[in-house]
């Protein structure tokens, strides 16, 4: 329970119905009396790991409505959990307090594009716009979103900003700290902070909006986003390469960067187990199985450039060089260059489908860490060995079936996933703080992109020292002195 907060009552629900339209309030309490099953999807996360006990969900339709809710909750010491597409992987979008101590404030009903300037590529949108719908909106204008992730069909731009989502294009278009130009945020006292700038350059004092990028809903509610979108490339290709072992990934990355230069737009890696897993869950093999029987690692690279012949010539030379190499110089066993839009999509599905396949396979213990790329395999092997020593690897029932490694090579971000049939203390204790200590030993980060949420609160100290955590807490207290905003997330109490 959160000591500073009280539970929502019928009289609060009555108030919410008076300030919002009737369909915007879901509550098990009177006068609304929604069946509790209808609240299930708002109280459970994408992985099925966290279960909240919120009794009230509010779906405001405007910034003014958000401000009214927040002001009331602040005055009455009711917690608020901002929720976007609920695809987060660290239990950040689910209430963790006692029953009814937090309302879920779901942004899904705020989904309009506010403006788009086809000259500058600057898009201003409501926080609840689904990422994929923004891509679809931009398509006829010849622009794309600067970020792309497997959850695009459900995650919202406000959620992306709040988690500082990375994804598959970061290598090319950089992080949201660069592409977000402005934000509109409802602060914990109900003030609307209008920083919805559409300027490329603005050096007038502290850049407050940066604080909300990656704040995971602990400092305020993002209601609008201004973002710089890049022009769509005329020519896009992708290639899947099979590697005999992981050690070749780094030299391959160097060679690919040298050869492809400015047209490289993604360089993603996944290990053998990931490849077999996605095939088991319905993806089509991209390469004949006898040709990849010895492959221990796969790399998916993408190019986006302005000139078809130029790009294809560059790619052709690279593939010739890679596939023609012999002896020690031979970094890849085989590879395939997509020949059609269908094949292009199918290659991407092999990579993007990993998270979903893991979800179908079992329960995942997820670690999204930044460590030096040459250490990716060592880290995965070390964790597997640890689980073996603890007697939980392969144990049935209740044991670990898979330890997988994949991720964004260009960003130094490894996704280390441990898959088991259930979430148990035994497995958790074998993994934590072991993995965090390992990451700290590499001078890495315990979260490269998914954030801290409720899952990694105890791990924060492995990446942020005493002084950093102290100043983070001061910032939190300054914005949210009553501790109503996403309580129990990011910072230890
Ligand atoms: P939610 O899950 O609803 O919320 C996430 C956090 O942000 C919570 O703490 C919540 O309180 C807060 N929040 C949400 N909206 C707001 C708002 N408007 N104002 C203030 N706070 C808010 N992440 C990556 O970084 N890279 C990836 O490649 C990637 N791939 C994924 C693939 C799959 C299949 C899945 C399921 C997830 C993936 N994720 C990835 C994680 C997740 O999708 C991202 O973190 C995403 O940005 C979350 O957006 P959302 O709208 O679903 O937010
Ligand atoms: C990805 O890169 C996502 O696919 C999800 O960040 C990673 O599921 C995961 O651990
Ligand atoms: Zn990722």
Question: What is the three-class DSSP state of 443?
Answer: coil
Closest-approaching ligand to the CA atom of 160: 1
How far does the centroid of ligand 2 lie from the alpha carbon of residue 230, in Å?
23
- Residue 328's pLDDT band, with cuts at 50, 70 and 90, is confident
- Give the model confidence (pLDDT) of 31-51 as tens digits: 999 999 999 999 999 999 999
Backbone CA torsion sign across 399, 407, 439, 210:
negative
Q: What pLDDT, on the 0 to 100 scale, is given for residue 398? A: 86
Question: What's the mean per-residue pLDDT of the chain?
Answer: 97
192 falls within a domain: yes
- Residue 100's pLDDT band, with cuts at 50, 70 and 90, is very high
How far does the centroid of ligand 2 lie from the alpha carbon of residue 415, in Å?
6
How far does the centroid of ligand 2 lie from the alpha carbon of residue 66, in Å?
31
Q: Mutation test of ligand 1: which of 163, 274, 406 has the most ligand atoms closer than 8 Å to its C-beta?
A: 163
Q: What is the mean pLDDT of residues 449-456?
A: 98
How far does the centroid of ligand 1 lie from the alpha carbon of residue 164, in Å?
8
- Atom number, ligand 2, closest to the C-alpha of residue 354: 4
How far does the centroid of ligand 1 lie from the alpha carbon of residue 93, in Å?
8
Record the tokens describing residue 176, joined without a space.
């949201």
Q: Kindly state whether residues 54 and 96 are assigned to the same domain.
A: yes
Q: What pLDDT, on the 0 to 100 scale, is given for residue 22? A: 87
CA-wise closest residue to 469 among 455, 458, 481 = 458
458 falls within a domain: no
Q: What is the mean pLDDT of residues 344-363?
A: 97
123 falls within a domain: yes
How far does the centroid of ligand 2 lie from the alpha carbon of residue 403, in Å?
14
Nearest protein Cα to ligand 2, atom 5: 355
Of 193, 215, 232, which residue constitutes the final position of a domain?
232
Q: Quick one: how many helices (H) and strands (E) in the chain? A: 17, 16
Record the tokens describing residue 184, joined without a space.
């509109």
Residue 439 has pLDDT above 90, yes or no: yes
How far apart (Å, rounded) are the C-alpha atoms in residues 225 and 197?
9
Q: What is the mean pLDDT of residues 3-13?
A: 97
Of 352, 381, 413, which residue constitutes the final position of a domain?
352
CATH of the domain at 387: 3.30.70.2740
Who lines ligand 2 at CB under 6 A?
89, 150, 354-355, 366, 368, 415, 417, 449
Q: Kindly state whether residues 6 and 149 are assigned to the same domain.
A: yes
Asked if residue 93 lies in contact with residue 86, where contact means CB atoms within 8 angstroms, the answer is yes
479 falls within a domain: no
Domain extent, residue 263, equals: 235-352
- Give the model confidence (pLDDT) of 283-308 as tens digits: 999 999 999 999 999 999 999 999 99
Q: Kindly state whether residues 25 and 137 are assigned to the same domain.
A: yes
Closest-approaching ligand to the CA atom of 354: 2
424 falls within a domain: yes
Q: Kindly state whether residues 187 and 212 are assigned to the same domain.
A: yes
Closest-approaching ligand to the CA atom of 150: 1
CATH of the domain at 20: 3.30.465.10
**β partners of residue 222:** 185
- Residue 70's pLDDT band, with cuts at 50, 70 and 90, is very high
How far does the centroid of ligand 2 lie from the alpha carbon of residue 266, in Å?
15
Q: Mutation test of ligand 1: which of 46, 69, 109, 165 has the most ligand atoms closer than 8 Å to its C-beta?
A: 165
- Where on the phi/psi map is residue 234: left (φ > 0), alpha (ψ -120 to 50), or beta? alpha
- Atom number, ligand 1, closest to the C-alpha of residue 215: 21
Whether 81 lines ligand 1, by a CB cut-off of 6 Å, is: yes
Question: What is the three-class DSSP state of 250?
Answer: helix
Q: What pLDDT, on the 0 to 100 scale, is given for residue 171? A: 96
Q: Kindly state whether residues 175 and 29 are assigned to the same domain.
A: yes
- Residue 396's pLDDT band, with cuts at 50, 70 and 90, is confident
Q: Kindly state whether residues 6 and 118 are assigned to the same domain.
A: yes
Whether 55 lines ligand 1, by a CB cut-off of 6 Å, is: no
Judged by average pLDDT, the poorest of 179-188, 392-401, 458-467 is: 392-401
Q: Kindly state whether residues 80 and 191 are assigned to the same domain.
A: yes
Q: What is the mean pLDDT of residues 127-150?
A: 98
Please count the residues of the chain.
493
Count how many domains the chain has. Answer: 3
Q: Kindly state whether residues 274 and 416 are assigned to the same domain.
A: no
CA-wise closest residue to 63 among 218, 164, 190, 157 = 190
Asked if residue 305 lies in contact with residue 237, where contact means CB atoms within 8 angstroms, the answer is no
Q: What pLDDT, on the 0 to 100 scale, is given for residue 146? A: 98
Record the tokens describing residue 353, joined without a space.
């489908």
**Starting at the edge strand that comes first in sequence, how are the strands of the sheet with 56-58 ordered?**
25-27, 56-58, 102-106, 79-83
Q: Kindly state whether residues 179 and 37 are assigned to the same domain.
A: yes
Q: How many CA atoms lie within 13 A of 340 on its CB side?
A: 4
Closest-approaching ligand to the CA atom of 87: 1
Q: Kindly state whether residues 34 and 86 are assigned to the same domain.
A: yes
Q: What pLDDT, on the 0 to 100 scale, is given for residue 397? A: 87
What is the percent of the chain with per-residue pLDDT over 70, rounded to a whole number? 100
Q: Tell me if the pTM is above 0.80.
A: yes
330 falls within a domain: yes
**Bridge pairing between strands 363-370 and 56-58:** unpaired
Nearest protein Cα to ligand 1, atom 14: 159
CATH of the domain at 284: 3.30.70.2190
471 falls within a domain: no
Q: Kindly state whether residues 216 and 87 are assigned to the same domain.
A: yes
488 falls within a domain: no
Of 327, 352, 377, which residue constitutes the final position of a domain?
352
Q: Kindly state whether residues 241 and 312 are assigned to the same domain.
A: yes
């Amino acid at each position: 329970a959160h000591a500073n907060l009280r539970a929502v009552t019928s009289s609060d629900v009555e108030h919410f119905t008076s300030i919002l339209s009737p369909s915007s309030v879901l509550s098990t309490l009177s006068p609304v009396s929604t069946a509790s099953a209808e609240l299930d999807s708002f109280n459970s996360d994408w992985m099925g790991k966290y279960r909240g006990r919120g009794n009230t969900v509010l779906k405001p339709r405007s910034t003014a409505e958000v401000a009214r809710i927040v002001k009331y909750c602040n005055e009455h010491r009711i917690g608020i959990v901002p929720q976007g597409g609920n695809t987060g992987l660290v239990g950040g979008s689910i209430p963790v307090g006692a029953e009814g101590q937090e309302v879920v404030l779901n942004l899904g009903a705020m989904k309009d594009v506010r403006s788009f300037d086809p000259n500058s590529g600057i898009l201003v949108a409501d926080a609840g716009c689904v990422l994929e719908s923004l891509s679809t909106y931009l398509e006829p204008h010849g622009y794309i979103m600067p970020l792309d992730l497997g959850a695009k069909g459900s995650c919202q731009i406000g959620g992306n900003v709040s988690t500082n989502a990375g994804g598959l294009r970061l290598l090319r278009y950089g992080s949201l700290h660069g592409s977000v130009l402005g934000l509109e945020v409802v602060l914990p006292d109900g003030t609307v902070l209008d920083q919805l700038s559409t300027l490329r350059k603005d050096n007038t004092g502290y850049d407050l909006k940066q604080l909300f990028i990656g704040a995971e809903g602990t400092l305020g509610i993002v209601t609008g986003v201004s973002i710089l979108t890049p022009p769509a490339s005329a020519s896009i290709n992708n290639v899947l390469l099979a590697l005999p072992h992981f050690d070749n990934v780094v030299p391959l990355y160097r060679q690919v960067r040298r050869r492809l230069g400015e047209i490289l737009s993604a360089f993603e890696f996944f290990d053998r187990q990931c490849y077999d897993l996605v095939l088991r869950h319905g993806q089509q093999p991209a390469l004949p199985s006898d040709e990849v029987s010895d492959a221990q690692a796969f790399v998916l690279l993408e190019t986006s450039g302005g000139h078809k012949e130029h790009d294809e010539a560059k790619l052709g030379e690279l593939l010739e060089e890679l596939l023609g190499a012999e002896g020690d110089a031979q970094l890849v066993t085989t590879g395939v260059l997509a020949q059609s839009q269908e094949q292009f999509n199918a290659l991407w599905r092999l990579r993007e489908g990993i998270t979903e396949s893991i979800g179908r396979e079992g329960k995942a213990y997820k670690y999204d860490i930044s460590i030096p790329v040459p250490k990716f395999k060592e880290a995965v092997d070390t964790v597997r060995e640890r689980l073996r020593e603890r007697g939980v690897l392969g144990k049935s029932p209740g044991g670990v079936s898979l330890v997988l490694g994949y991720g964004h090579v260009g960003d130094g971000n490894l996704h280390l996933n441990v898959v088991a049939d259930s979430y148990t203390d035994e497995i958790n204790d074998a993994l934590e703080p072991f993995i965090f200590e390992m990451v700290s030993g590499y001078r890495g980060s315990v979260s490269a992109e998914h954030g801290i949420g409720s899952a990694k609160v105890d791990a924060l100290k492995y990446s942020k020292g005493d002084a950093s955590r102290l100043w983070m807490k001061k910032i939190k207290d300054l914005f949210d002195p009553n501790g109503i905003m996403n309580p129990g997330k990011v910072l230890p109490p």
